């Protein structure tokens, strides 16, 4: 049945280039918000705004008396508004395509609802005065946003691909799935390391998770070794594959994982400097993006064809 969007698409339409730009912008913004969230925590600005959604009981924005901490926390909140605008652009661009792509539209809407979820958890984080378990949930929700943005961008990139699908290799599918699961475990262990260690997110005393930091750090390092080994395995397994795009993506991921491991080791050796921790958090979002992309690259052809326009 025709609807206002299909009517507009027939008369106005949006170029595929605009859709690709919107999808990429949403992914970049989702990674950026992970980085700004890290800045909030590492500068002790987690309670820079004393409440949520307002910054004070009377004002939406911080006052001059709240200083730099209030400005940093409020800036992070404003980025959520920017992200919503970008996702709104993405949703409209998807609906105004002359060749419908319902799967892309569903994932664009998924991004919007994950942003809402992230905002609510962010509010609960402030209300609970940076409870470490809620802070961990906030980061996981942010990575969920990165994941949905990655899936959307991948699906948009597949819309105009011509020719028969690349040959399906079940062994690579198992490897892609294993890498995805291992990376998810690595990220979750990383939140425990953060919740147990320093840099709680505020300059005052904040409760920490009741675990031994050395022990959880070793578990995190072990998970990182597993992810690295799986990435090397993927590199070896795809060296002679006919799938040139997959080979290229695996090489890029191997480089990123290697750099991420180097940053992780350096931050421990150098006593956890804030700059390296922030870089490590940025790296985690990039590794997560690459892992999901490779997982999607290894899907069977019928899954890929299902989201192409008819």
Instruction: Return the DSSP state at 62.
Output: P
Collapse the DSSP code of 241 into the 3-class scheme (helix H, G, I; strand E, B; otherwise coil) and give the result. coil
pLDDT at 223 (0 to 100): 96
Q: How far apart are the first and last CA of the chain?
A: 16
Question: Would you tell me the crossing angle of helices 67-95 and 16-42 to the nearest 10 degrees?
Answer: 160
Give the Cα separation of 125 and 120 in Å (integer): 9
| CB distance 62 to 74 below 8 Å | yes
| CB distance 142 to 33 below 8 Å | yes
The b/e string for 70-88 (b: 16+ C-beta within 10 A; e otherwise) is bbbbbebbebbeebbebbe
Q: Name the phi and psi angles at 163, rounded to 5.
A: 85, 175
- The domain limits of the chain are 10-160+168-306
pTM for the predicted model, two decimal places: 0.88
Give the Cα separation of 59 and 55 in Å (integer): 6
Task: Give the residue carrying structure tokens 């990575």.
Answer: 143
| CB distance 47 to 130 below 8 Å | yes
pLDDT at 307 (0 to 100): 47
pLDDT tens for the chain, 310 residues: list them: 555 545 444 445 667 888 999 999 999 999 999 999 888 888 878 777 878 888 887 788 877 777 788 888 888 888 999 999 999 999 999 988 877 678 888 999 999 999 999 999 999 988 988 888 999 999 999 999 999 999 999 999 888 766 556 666 778 889 999 999 999 999 999 999 988 877 655 555 677 888 888 999 999 999 999 999 999 999 998 887 777 788 899 999 999 999 999 999 998 899 888 889 999 999 999 999 999 999 998 887 645 544 444 4
Task: Give the residue carrying structure tokens 């009981």.
Answer: 57
Tokens representing 101 are 């792509």
Question: Would you tell me the crossing angle of helices 274-297 and 213-238 to the nearest 10 degrees?
Answer: 40
Give the Cα separation of 293 and 279 in Å (integer): 21
| CB distance 258 to 225 below 8 Å | no
């Amino acid at each position: 049945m025709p609807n206002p969007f299909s009517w507009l698409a027939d008369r106005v339409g949006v170029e595929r280039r605009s859709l690709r730009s919107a999808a990429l912008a949403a992914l970049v913004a989702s990674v950026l918000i992970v980085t700004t969230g890290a800045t909030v925590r590492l500068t002790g600005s987690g309670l820079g705004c004393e409440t949520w959604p307002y910054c004070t009981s009377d004002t939406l924005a911080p006052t001059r008396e709240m200083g730099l901490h209030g400005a940093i926390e409020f800036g992070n909140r404003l980025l959520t508004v920017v992200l919503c605008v970008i996702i709104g652009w993405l949703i409209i661009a998807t609906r105004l395509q002359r060749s419908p792509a319902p799967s892309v539209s569903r994932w664009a809407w998924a991004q919007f609802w994950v942003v809402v979820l992230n905002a609510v958890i962010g509010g609960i984080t402030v209300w609970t005065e940076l409870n470490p378990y809620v802070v961990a949930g906030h980061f996981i929700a942010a990575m969920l946003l990165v994941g949905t943005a990655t899936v959307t961008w991948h699906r948009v990139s597949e819309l105009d691909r011509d020719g028969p699908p690349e040959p399906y290799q079940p062994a690579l599918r198992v490897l892609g799935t294993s890498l995805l699961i291992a990376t998810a475990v690595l990220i979750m262990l990383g939140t425990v390391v953060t919740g147990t260690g320093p840099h709680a997110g505020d300059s005052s005393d904040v409760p920490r998770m009741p675990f031994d930091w050395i022990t959880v750090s070793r578990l995190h390092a072990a998970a990182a070794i597993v992810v690295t080994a799986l990435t090397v395995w993927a590199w070896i397994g795809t060296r002679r594959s006919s799938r040139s795009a997959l080979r290229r993506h695996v090489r890029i991921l191997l480089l990123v994982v290697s750099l991420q491991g180097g940053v992780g080791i350096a931050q421990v050796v150098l006593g956890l400097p804030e700059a390296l921790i922030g870089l490590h958090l940025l790296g985690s979002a990039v590794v997560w993006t690459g892992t999901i992309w490779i997982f999607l690259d290894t899907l069977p052809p019928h899954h890929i064809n299902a989201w192409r326009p008819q």
